[in-house]
Chains A and B, each alone.
Chain A
């Protein structure tokens, strides 16, 4: 069966086979040409042979052939065709024009790590939102497009929420994957998006230090060590490392998924805003915990036994919420309504990220110093707007956007930061005074890629600033 002897010059189902680009344990990759798709193409052919693992390789191959056509967007290779598994098993996809991450020299400097890491986190957020967990994330499986976007390749071990997972009971990890595998995967979990965040943490650690936090385990027992081993903090390798990077990396590497970031979008956000990352004890660590500490971690790892059951979670469990505040009119009677609605929305999620944004029209002909004054003034107003909500500092960030088209600026900022929900106030149609903000609201509602919650004062509600008025409903 199969295409074991496929060679350059052969033709398969209308594809002309070009040079073999890679040969690995699982199969071969050929460059192919054929139907006009407008992009270069790759053909992946599994190596089946007579080995005991053939059945498993075939399932992994079928898994990829099922998942790739279901994935949309720029963060996975575009699917072109798949051959009949029984006769000519192959998958043809887009060949990404870019460089795989394992070719990158390391260590890299903080801004480069943050840029690459945020792109990978964006890619993870995108596939997670489509119900897919990659589960074999490593530098060979990340290709950076020339525009800076990360593409995840090789979905052979991936899990799709809407497909049976016939690899559910497999425990084999190739040597190349072992350094990146999460503790819960070692315990048998295959459906938790947070497993990919652990692998991202290992990659960031590697980019920052040139080292692997858990080495290259050769045995299953070696793999299990990561359930309790405290990795040396990145700063131990690179003394001048940005403390926020260490904070982010060590949070991704928490053995307990509940202590990690709960969403890839939160990781992306922190990497893009290193200066706003709240620093905890993680960022100050200079060395791994001592003997007693390691013993304690080993003991606690016994409680992590149920990690295997850490299941697919509600994708909305850790939303990024963006609230747009009209700081030009801090005394507007709508502000308490917006605060109350925002507070109620946040109360629905245990883990969230709140991005508070003020939009001010760009000062025309302003000097650098007056621009800074404007920024500072509006940042202070945002902070005061936020104070009554009593949100923990580590969940919030504040931004002042300037531009002549505030609606477009808000939409762009929301897209860049993987925002799940935008909350903003809007004047009722008969309130002429605030027409400017109404047009912002309609631009955002029409163009945002995410959900938008428009807050209006209920008709006939109490006096300005009143707390007792009926709740404004969603628009």
Chain B
């Protein structure tokens, strides 16, 4: 069965809806949300509403650092992010905030581990941004497959004959064979705030029994999402990022 993995939605309703529709059109029935549902964007309530609906039907949802920051101030966030979090607090209902606060940091299933930052000390929000960090994370995950967000790029790390993690940048749309006999770590990219120069939303689908992972990029109305950020009075830089994908 194909699963879709969505990370770093960041209150971007347009991007989320586009990815969900894209995944459903490919027969995906199971959704996993890899944290940072909120922050940066203009639709925190609508996004939390949708994801909470999935959670009620059994979807795995893990907590991201922006989700955690709704409940308490976090010194790690930059100025624009902090402004967005403070605005989001007012836009979210107590029920939404409770939902975010209730999310687990990490979820392990039979073959897969889901986490926002690194499976090694997830509460520290470390970035899996090197082969070494990938090795540490995959070891701590104790599962053949690990799926992370937090780093907004799409990267697949695979374990070689000596246990080193090899970095691979996938082509969107190309299915990558990834057999469960060795460890794999997929960074899903960001649904709601891509930063690699391509404004299209990013997410991943996987068929673990078949051992295959596919990275996707989905065009969505990023200009509408950016316009909402401006209309909400959020920092201009956050709107610009969505327009350009930077």
Interface residues of A (CB under 8 A from B): 53, 55-56, 58-59, 62, 66, 85-86, 161-170
A166 touches B166 (CB 8 A): yes
B161 touches A170 (CB 8 A): yes
Nearest CB to that of A164 among chain B residues?
B168
A166 touches B179 (CB 8 A): no
Which residues of B sit under 8 angstroms from A55, Cβ to Cβ? 161-162
B160 touches A170 (CB 8 A): yes
A169 touches B168 (CB 8 A): no
Selected from B168, B171, B181, the residue in CB contact (under 8 A) with A165 is B168
Selected from B161, B170, B171, B174, the residue in CB contact (under 8 A) with A166 is B161
A167 touches B160 (CB 8 A): yes
- Taking the closest CB of chain A, its distance from the CB of B116, in whole angstroms, is 23
- Taking the closest CB of chain A, its distance from the CB of B144, in whole angstroms, is 12
Cα distance A352–B158 in the bound complex, in angstroms: 36
- Taking the closest CB of chain B, its distance from the CB of A170, in whole angstroms, is 7
Selected from B160, B176, B177, B182, the residue in CB contact (under 8 A) with A168 is B160
Which residues of A sit under 8 angstroms from B43, Cβ to Cβ? none
Q: Is B15 an interface residue (CB 8 A)?
A: no
Known: A162-B171, A164-B156. A169 touches B162 (CB 8 A): yes
Which residues of B sit under 8 angstroms from A163, Cβ to Cβ? 168, 176-177
Q: Is B243 an interface residue (CB 8 A)?
A: no
Which residues of A sit under 8 angstroms from B158, Cβ to Cβ? 164, 166
Q: Is B47 an interface residue (CB 8 A)?
A: no
- Taking the closest CB of chain A, its distance from the CB of B226, in whole angstroms, is 31
B159 touches A166 (CB 8 A): yes
Nearest CB to that of A69 among chain B residues?
B177
Interface residues of B (CB under 8 A from A): 156, 158-162, 164, 166, 168, 170-171, 174, 176-179, 181-182
- Taking the closest CB of chain A, its distance from the CB of B222, in whole angstroms, is 26
Selected from B164, B166, B176, B181, the residue in CB contact (under 8 A) with A162 is B176
A162 touches B170 (CB 8 A): yes
- Taking the closest CB of chain B, its distance from the CB of A348, in whole angstroms, is 21
Selected from A86, A161, A169, the residue in CB contact (under 8 A) with B181 is A86
Which residues of B sit under 8 angstroms from A170, Cβ to Cβ? 160-161
Nearest CB to that of A162 among chain B residues?
B174
Cα distance A163–B158 in the bound complex, in angstroms: 10
Nearest CB to that of A57 among chain B residues?
B161
Which residues of A sit under 8 angstroms from B174, Cβ to Cβ? 162
Cα distance A55–B159 in the bound complex, in angstroms: 11
Which 10 A-B pairs rank lowest in CB-CB distance, beginning with the nearest?
A164-B168, A55-B161, A56-B161, A164-B158, A166-B160, A162-B174, A168-B166, A162-B171, A166-B158, A59-B161
Which residues of B sit under 8 angstroms from A56, Cβ to Cβ? 161
Chain B interface helix/strand/loop/mixed: loop
Which residues of B sit under 8 angstroms from A162, Cβ to Cβ? 170-171, 174, 176
Can you give 28 A-B contacts (C-beta < 8 A)?
A55-B161, A55-B162, A56-B161, A59-B160, A66-B177, A86-B181, A162-B170, A162-B171, A162-B174, A162-B176, A163-B168, A163-B176, A163-B177, A164-B156, A164-B158, A164-B168, A164-B178, A165-B168, A166-B158, A166-B159, A166-B160, A166-B161, A166-B166, A166-B182, A168-B166, A169-B162, A169-B164, A170-B161
A85 touches B161 (CB 8 A): no
- Taking the closest CB of chain B, its distance from the CB of A91, in whole angstroms, is 14
Cα distance A164–B182 in the bound complex, in angstroms: 13
- Taking the closest CB of chain A, its distance from the CB of B31, in whole angstroms, is 25
Cα distance A56–B161 in the bound complex, in angstroms: 5
Known: A55-B161, A59-B160, A164-B158. A169 touches B166 (CB 8 A): yes
Which residues of A sit under 8 angstroms from B160, Cβ to Cβ? 59, 166-170
Cα distance A53–B182 in the bound complex, in angstroms: 16
Cα distance A86–B143 in the bound complex, in angstroms: 18
B166 touches A164 (CB 8 A): yes
B176 touches A164 (CB 8 A): yes
Cα distance A396–B223 in the bound complex, in angstroms: 48
Nearest CB to that of A62 among chain B residues?
B179
Which residues of A sit under 8 angstroms from B156, Cβ to Cβ? 164
Which residues of B sit under 8 angstroms from A165, Cβ to Cβ? 166, 168
Which residues of B sit under 8 angstroms from A53, Cβ to Cβ? 161
Which residues of A sit under 8 angstroms from B159, Cβ to Cβ? 166
Known: A164-B176, A168-B160. A85 touches B170 (CB 8 A): no
Which residues of A sit under 8 angstroms from B181, Cβ to Cβ? 85-86
19 further contact pairs, Cβ within 8 A, besides A62-B179, A85-B179, A163-B168: A55-B161, A55-B162, A85-B181, A161-B171, A162-B171, A162-B174, A163-B176, A163-B177, A164-B166, A164-B168, A165-B166, A166-B158, A166-B160, A166-B182, A167-B160, A169-B160, A169-B162, A170-B160, A170-B161
Cα distance A305–B241 in the bound complex, in angstroms: 37
Cα distance A316–B174 in the bound complex, in angstroms: 20
Which residues of B sit under 8 angstroms from A167, Cβ to Cβ? 160
Cα distance A167–B161 in the bound complex, in angstroms: 8
Cα distance A164–B164 in the bound complex, in angstroms: 13
Cα distance A403–B203 in the bound complex, in angstroms: 55
Cα distance A168–B159 in the bound complex, in angstroms: 11
Nearest CB to that of B175 among chain A residues?
A162
Which residues of A sit under 8 angstroms from B176, Cβ to Cβ? 162-164
Nearest CB to that of B169 among chain A residues?
A164
Cα distance A170–B178 in the bound complex, in angstroms: 19
Nearest CB to that of B184 among chain A residues?
A164
Cα distance A59–B156 in the bound complex, in angstroms: 17
- Taking the closest CB of chain A, its distance from the CB of B173, in whole angstroms, is 10
- Taking the closest CB of chain B, its distance from the CB of A1, in whole angstroms, is 11
- Taking the closest CB of chain A, its distance from the CB of B215, in whole angstroms, is 11
Which residues of B sit under 8 angstroms from A168, Cβ to Cβ? 160, 166
Nearest CB to that of A66 among chain B residues?
B177
- Taking the closest CB of chain B, its distance from the CB of A101, in whole angstroms, is 30
Which residues of A sit under 8 angstroms from B178, Cβ to Cβ? 164
Cα distance A55–B181 in the bound complex, in angstroms: 11
Which residues of B sit under 8 angstroms from A164, Cβ to Cβ? 156, 158, 166, 168, 176, 178
Cα distance A86–B180 in the bound complex, in angstroms: 10
Q: Which of A165, A166, A167 has its CB near the most chain B CB atoms (within 10 A)?
A: A166
Nearest CB to that of A65 among chain B residues?
B177
Cα distance A53–B164 in the bound complex, in angstroms: 15
